[in-house]
Structure 1
Amino acid sequence: MAEPADPSQAIRALAKELDGIPKELRQKLRPALRAAAEPVVQDARSRASWSTRIPRAISMSVRFSRDPGVLIRVRRSVAPHGRAYEGITGASDFVHPVFGHRDREVAEGTRPYLEPAVRAAADNVLATAAGVVEQVAREQGFR
């Protein structure tokens, strides 16, 4: 597989390859993919250490069915403000009511933590994941 320049294209290509992997292979891949993505989760948690709730709201899962790959998310039930601080709309700030004064609003700057962590480790995680996929595939007689 030729290495695409854009990490998101590489992830989509890897996900496409993972889609046809048998169940036995998936059981071997899951812990390896979790281990490859764990540094991203730790980095995101440290980048959000200014918050008491966001770091513990960050979780990771590996799935092989719908949208296969590693999913890193911030649970809204634990940190409802996590999405606003991440700046998912692309804006550099967001508006929210002042505590105790719902008729007043204040603008606050975003403090991205998840996207920078993913970008910082994308090449390393992708290379590790691709290496694990190839190793397990060779062990199982694929390729």
Structure 2
Amino acid sequence: MLAIINQFIAADPNAADAYMLSLMTSEEKTDLLPLNTQAKSDISDGLIVLRAYEVFLNQVVAQEQAQATLQQQTTETPPAALQQENTSQDDLLYKLVSQTQAKLNELGFYTGAIDGIFDNETQQALINFQTAYGLIIDGTINEQVVAALGIQI
């Protein structure tokens, strides 16, 4: 700590003096200034070091609290709205795949379980359907597939 204070003083003695004086209360300045005895100088130096240490400590504590808050925010579970959005998207995807499987099953392209899971069997059935109906063959549930199967979500 003293090394930091000494570096600060060496960098700009006038600014350092003004800063150090700002760390003292008006009563302390009245009692200790001018520094005409060694005792006053020692007391003044001790007060300044103590106050500078308090400032430094407060900054360290504030930084640690900020880091802890940031870490807590990054490790917390997503807000309820975000979880609900994810659940809604999952539900939508499940319904889309389930309805596609059911429609493909009705048309004889799909024989697997209607489980809402887009697996290889579902994709192959979709490719066969797209081929048979002259649609873009990409193996995905796209707008053409949704329209051709009459899927409504």
Question: TM exceeds 0.5?
Answer: no
> Between Structure 1 and Structure 2, whose CA radius of gyration is higher?
2
Relative to its length, the structure with more helix (as a share) is 2
TM range (shorter): under 0.3
TM-score (ref. length: structure 1): 0.24
